[in-house]
A and B are shown apart, each in its own frame.
Chain A
Amino acid sequence: MKTRHELTEILDFIAEYATYLLGSGVHTSRAIRNSQRIGEALGVDIQLSSFQRSTILTVRDDESGEAITRVVKIPSLPISFERNSDLSALSWDALDERLPLAEIRRRYALLIEKPRIDPIFVLVTVGLANASFCRLFGGDWTAMAIVFTSTLVGFAAKQRMQAHGVNHFLIFIIAAFMASLCASSALRFDCTAETALATSVLFLVPGVPLINGVIDIVEGHILIGCSRLINALLLIICIAIGLAATLLMVKDSLL
Chain B
Amino acid sequence: METFWNTIADYNAATWPAQLLLVGIGAVLTLLLYKRPSSAVRSAMKIYMATLNFWIAGVYYLVWCRPREYHDLLALFWAIMGCIWLYDLAVKHASLERTKHHTIFARLLFVMPLVYPLCSLALGRSFPMITSPVMPCSVAVFTVGLMLAFSERINIVLAMFLCHWALIGLSKVYFFGIPEDYLLACSVVPALYLFFREYIRSLENRPAKPSPRVLNGLLGLLCAIIGGFFAFTLLHQFNLFTRI
Contact = CB atoms under 8 A, between A and B. Distances in A.
A48 interface: no
A156 B209 contact: no
B164 A118 contact: no
Interface in A151-177: 152-153, 156-157, 159-160
Give the interface size class of chain A: 20 to 34
A188 interface: yes
A160 B156 contact: yes
A181 B161 contact: no
B171 A142 contact: yes
B203 interface: yes
A181 B175 CA distance: 20
Q: Which of B80, B164, B206, B208 has the most CB of A within 10 A?
A: B164
B118 interface: no
A230 interface: no
Given A118-B203, A120-B196, A181-B76, A146 B167 contact: yes
Given A152-B163, A156-B160, A160-B156, A118 B70 contact: no
A188 B209 CA distance: 39
Interface string B152-167: 0000110111011001
A118 B196 CA distance: 12
B121 interface: no
A149 B163 contact: yes
Contacts of A187: 69-70
Nearest to A158: B157
A120 B157 contact: no
A185 B175 CA distance: 13
Contacts of A146: 164, 167-168, 171
B73 A189 contact: no
Contacts, number: 84
Contacts of A124: 218, 222
A87 B28 CA distance: 57
A117 to B, nearest CB: 5
B181 to A, nearest CB: 13
Contacts of B206: 115
Contacts of B97: none
B5 interface: no
Given A118-B209, A189-B175, A249 B161 contact: no
A182 B77 contact: yes
Interface of B: 69-70, 72-74, 76-77, 80, 156-157, 159-161, 163-164, 167-168, 171, 175, 196, 199, 203, 206-210, 215, 218, 222, 229
Given A115-B208, A118-B203, A120-B196, A249 B73 contact: yes
A250 interface: yes
A148 to B, nearest CB: 8
Q: Which of A124, A157, A185 has the most CB of B within 10 A?
A: A185
B175 A121 contact: no
Given A118-B210, A182-B77, A249-B73, 4 more contacts: A145-B229, A146-B168, A184-B73, A185-B70
A182 B207 CA distance: 34
A148 B168 CA distance: 12
A39 B77 CA distance: 55
Given A124-B222, A146-B167, A160 B196 contact: no
A153 B76 contact: no
B60 to A, nearest CB: 16
A178 interface: yes
A153 B167 contact: no
